[in-house]
Chain A
Amino acid sequence: MIELQHIAKSFEVGGQPIFALRDTSESIQAGEYVAIVGPSGSGKSTLLNIIGCLLRPSEGAYLFNGEDVSQLEDRALSHVRQHQIGFIFQSFHLVPRLTALENVALPMVFAGIASSERQLRAKDVLESVGLSDRAHHRPNQLSVGQRQRVVIARAIIMQPAVLLADEPTGNLDTHSGQHIMELLESLNAKGLTLLVVTHDPNVARRANRVIVLADGQIVKHVKGEEMSAGSMPFV
């Protein structure tokens, strides 16, 4: 499903190219649950942004469902993000003036889905994450755990093929984090491909597979179950 072929990504800083990723190749199959770990500055977020079609690689090819999306123009990339990829952010990124229901329905607004259908689908998805009674609450009226559930509901509303989560439990207490991971895993169990960037070894060890990054390169692959609790393979 996701095929990265010799991907590199550099950014110009002071006229000099700085490589965030170098010669990275990886293959992720549909339905996999993959954790990406590594120290700060190792290139985890850059890799996630390339997979999420928010960044174009400087070198190499990125095949998504067999199509090379690495050189697509903005409009086509937006279309891929809209229909194939769901994002979950550590800091939620909910629109504060919109209710939970409206936040969940937001991706459908830009996809041109009719208002009546948006309402029905958003209600269904909110119910599936256990927030049907919070549909008309604004983000500041929700707990952080509830906010992350709204974010998950928004990420899956367009029925994407891949869910990309960047530190999904980073802002949550242990209890809420546990619930969120269970929710994500239940989605993965239904066939949704799940990629999680995390610093938390307890989150990483729940994945089928862990990709370890260091200095912009994949340095190790381990199975989640092989990871020891409480420590990261790069430490």
Chain B
Amino acid sequence: MPILTKRPNKTPLGIYIHVPFCRSKCQYCDFYSLATKDDSLIDGFLDAVCDHIKEAGELAPGYKVDTVYFGGGTPSFFGGDGMAEILNTIRRNFDVVSDAEITFEANPDSVSDRLLRRLRAEGFNRASLGIQSDSDEMLKKLGRPHTYAQAVSAYQKIRKAGFRNVSVDLMYGLPGQSLQDWLSTLDTVLRLLPEHISCYGLKIEEGTPFWGMRDVLNLPGDDEQAEMYLSAVEALRSRGFRQYEISNFCRKGMISRHNMKYWTGGEYLGFGPSASSDFAGKRYTLKRDLQAYINGIRDGGDIMEDIQEIPLRERAGEYLMLRLRTSVGIAAQEYEKAFLLPFAPLEEVLEKHRRYYHTTQTDTGRWVLTPRGYLVSNDVITDLLLAQDQSEPMKRI
């Protein structure tokens, strides 16, 4: 029986597919993926995801879907036939709107003209290419299975296949990297004229190969990384890119609509091992284990790693934590209306941080972080969360 019918279908859903396959594991990566192209696993995954989508479609009939995102892992390595089959399954079970944003992630070593033509024909309209660096030496250090020349060639193939919305991923704060190195990487890559750029500061995560080497990696210090970040923001701004999130920049109107859902409280369903969903008031994450996921779907067993019903009070915290990552920011009326909590205590904190040029207000009075504020956003957000903790629900609305 459908359990999710009572919600009006006004706000469309996002759908995320986690494709847990890669050619090889990068030294810094802590996403769930397997360095394999084992046929039985690939087939098992494909069947499980498609069955899972069907199941979900029955539970949530008639939902409009306006973004689909294939991430990973490396979807391009997984291949066009599989992605097409999954996308078609989504279309059959959900109402994918005609102008939906349909993104796939690709690595330079696994894109071919054939793959790209196939995806374009299936309706994919946005590509996100992992370039990371323009230095072959650095790419090697990072454990990336490609050169910069391959990245350029992949980019050109994507363009040739007709994709007009292309994003590239870059990283800064890399081992031995100087501010000059970084700015020159940015300069080189910008010559490709992408519509969208994500710039991520390298974070050494526990459980990755880099973790054990962190003391000998010669990583730039915090102050240097801060410089890298602020110079990148400035360089991108001067070339006409808008910063719409801490690590994301785009040409006008070219934001990632799918990712924006994560930061603005939109609903999304995730499929595949380790994928997360936020749907019908619950946030849940699927098991970080492909075989367990496959078995769970096949046998009707448990596939959840974690599921939580998020109370309104906690949503109010998420509103601050997530929206302030973006140029959308937060606003008094919107906040008070949604959570019945007073904005005044937050305003005090925001004013305090305005003195350090961390926060500012837009023409319409919305509070947003400045680039400097993004850099210390944890500090600002935790200050706000503290003020929120101490605030009493509003007596008058």
Q: Are both chains from one complex?
A: no
